């Protein structure tokens, strides 16, 4: 039966239309780090940075919609990004790209879990170990065992909570306080947030767009959603998702503007305490806390599910012809091992969302042209994407001690693009002049 097959675990029961496709993508990309990064971006780069953060994610989703349409129409019958890589690359290139994707996938899951740990530490009085154990148990049930079918059930709840929160809390709070009073409180206590001529914030926005798009174009769970959304509706689904996603960080930023209006704060994470303290309604506090939990769980489940699918189908499956029972057994063992490792990491490390977001920025930016070359090129070519991504990654990390972080990300991106362009021009000359 289909419900007992590993393909059902990967793709669920049906192909999605625009409405539920948008819901599924929003549940994947509205994460705990979206909530945590918004106040940090606001404080570090001002109001322009907060708006820019929303612009980065929204535009990245819209741009990927055009790539997703090509993927959906060209690579029919595939289930994961690993399937496409196997079709387009020779064994050396395939394993090179798979190693990078697996490392990035584990890192992305690590980011989600770190965000969950920070939120649990901030919001709840009980020990972090207890909170993380309960959270990771839920993660194991939904993303590790449940599959895409269960994740989609959770996605509906997540999106309802998200929009309920960003509509109810700002409207209620701004009507209670008054927009003018809030603006004057910010102008009095934090006038630097309103400063618009900030070159560093422009660097942040432009570089962040590269990192976001690089993260999206290599995201395993996003590729899997491309294959389960109806082909003729893929592009519009991503465009609508990007437009809707743009409003979420802005709404969250407006909440934290309310929290700091007319008062000082200790650090960016204390803003969540400040926000809860000014919410006079217990119902709104409960909704906000539930939003944080469900948003992180939904995004983490998507990442764990995609990592399981990639590892079992495109790594283990390359060495052994597994039965359905063996696929599920290996998947459960792999999920359990990851969950235990993540529990230990969350209890002993204290990360910062913005640093986590940009830590692999050189890799994300270097992979953009490599993946675009794989998607749009004809034939089976390995050297251009492998060489361009490798040189871009190497150049980014080598240059990082001598330039600032934003510049090193752009060096990775531009060098990768130059190498890919060289191969494209070489191919064009061969076609024009008939050279072998």
Based on the fold, state whether residues 250 and 266 are members of the same structural domain: yes
Q: What is the pLDDT of residue 352?
A: 53
CATH code, domain with 223: 1.20.1730.10
Question: How many helices, marked H, and strands, marked E, lie in the chain?
Answer: 19, 0
Based on the fold, state whether residues 40 and 176 are members of the same structural domain: yes
The 3-state DSSP class for residue 198 equals: coil
Q: How distant, in Å, are the alpha carbons of 125, 127, 219, 298, 423 from that of 133?
A: 15, 10, 26, 16, 50
Q: What is the pLDDT of residue 359?
A: 63
Q: What is the pLDDT of residue 2?
A: 44
Q: How many domains does the chain have?
A: 2
Contact at 8 Å (CB) between 395 and 106?
Answer: no
Q: State how far the Cα of 157 lies from the Cα of 4, in Å rounded to an integer.
A: 25
Write out the chain's pLDDT in tens, 436 residues. 344 688 888 887 778 888 888 988 988 888 777 777 777 787 788 888 888 888 888 999 999 999 999 999 999 888 999 999 999 999 999 999 999 999 888 888 887 787 777 777 777 777 777 878 888 898 899 888 888 888 888 888 888 888 877 777 777 777 777 777 777 777 777 777 777 666 777 888 888 899 999 999 999 999 999 999 999 999 999 999 999 999 888 888 888 888 787 777 666 666 777 777 777 677 777 777 788 888 888 888 999 999 999 999 999 888 888 888 888 999 999 999 998 888 887 777 655 555 555 567 889 999 999 999 999 988 788 888 899 999 999 998 898 888 888 888 999 999 999 999 998 888 777 777 765 4
The 3-state DSSP class for residue 178 equals: coil
Q: What is the pLDDT of residue 1?
A: 36
Domain with 210, as residue range(s), is: 2-352
Instruction: Give the list of residues 6+ apart from residue 313 with CB closer than 8 angstroms, or none.
Output: 6, 10, 79, 80, 82, 83
- Taking only the tens place, the pLDDT of each residue in 40-62 is 787 788 888 888 888 888 999 99
State what percent of residues in the chain have pLDDT above 70.
93
Based on the fold, state whether residues 280 and 370 are members of the same structural domain: no
Based on the fold, state whether residues 257 and 388 are members of the same structural domain: no
Based on the fold, state whether residues 365 and 330 are members of the same structural domain: no
pTM: 0.89
Based on the fold, state whether residues 374 and 274 are members of the same structural domain: no
- Taking only the tens place, the pLDDT of each residue in 274-305 is 777 777 677 777 777 788 888 888 888 999 99
Domain finish residue from 352, 369, 404:
352
Q: What is the pLDDT of residue 150?
A: 85
């Amino acid at each position: 039966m289909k419900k007992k097959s590993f393909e059902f675990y990967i793709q669920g029961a049906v192909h999605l239309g625009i409405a539920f496709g948008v819901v599924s993508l929003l549940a994947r990309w509205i994460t705990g780090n979206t909530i945590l990064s918004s106040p940090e971006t606001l404080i570090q780069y001002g109001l322009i940075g907060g708006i820019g953060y929303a612009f980065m994610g929204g535009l990245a989703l819209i741009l990927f919609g055009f790539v997703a349409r090509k993927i959906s129409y060209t690579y029919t019958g595939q289930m994961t990004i690993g399937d496409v890589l196997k079709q387009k690359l020779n064994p050396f290139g395939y394993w090179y790209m798979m190693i990078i994707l697996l490392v990035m996938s584990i890192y992305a899951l690590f980011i989600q879990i770190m965000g969950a740990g920070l939120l649990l530490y901030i919001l709840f009085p009980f020990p972090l170990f207890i909170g993380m154990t309960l959270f990771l148990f839920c993660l194991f049930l939904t993303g590790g065992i449940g599959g895409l079918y269960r994740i989609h059930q959770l996605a509906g709840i997540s999106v309802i909570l998200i929009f309920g929160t960003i509509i109810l809390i700002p409207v209620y709070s701004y009507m209670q306080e008054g927009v003018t009073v809030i603006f004057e409180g910010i102008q009095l206590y934090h006038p630097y947030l309103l400063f618009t001529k900030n070159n560093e914030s422009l660097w942040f926005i432009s570089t962040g767009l590269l990192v976001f798009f690089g993260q999206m174009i290599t995201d395993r769970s996003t590729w899997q959603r491309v294959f389960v959304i109806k082909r003729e509706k893929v592009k519009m689904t991503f465009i609508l998702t990007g437009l809707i996603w743009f409003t979420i960080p802005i709404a969250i930023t407006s909440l934290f503007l309310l929290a700091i209006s007319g008062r000082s704060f200790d650090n960016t994470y204390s803003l969540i305490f400040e926000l809860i303290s000014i919410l006079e309604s217990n119902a709104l506090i409960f909704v906000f806390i539930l939003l944080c939990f469900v948003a992180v769980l939904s995004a983490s489940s998507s990442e764990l599910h995609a990592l399981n699918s990639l590892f079992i189908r495109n790594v283990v499956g390359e060495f052994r012809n597994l039965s359905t029972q063996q696929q599920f057994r290996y998947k459960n063992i792999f999920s359990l091992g990851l969950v235990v490792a993540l529990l230990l990491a969350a209890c002993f490390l204290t990360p910062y969302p913005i640093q986590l977001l940009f830590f692999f920025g050189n890799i994300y930016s270097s992979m953009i042209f490599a993946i675009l070359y794989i998607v749009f090129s004809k034939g089976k070519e390995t050297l251009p994407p492998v060489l361009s991504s490798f040189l871009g990654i190497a150049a980014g990390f080598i240059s990082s001690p001598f330039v600032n972080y934003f510049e090193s990300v752009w060096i990775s991106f531009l060098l990768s693009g130059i190498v890919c362009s060289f191969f494209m021009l070489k191919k064009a000359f061969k076609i024009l002049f008939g050279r072998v």
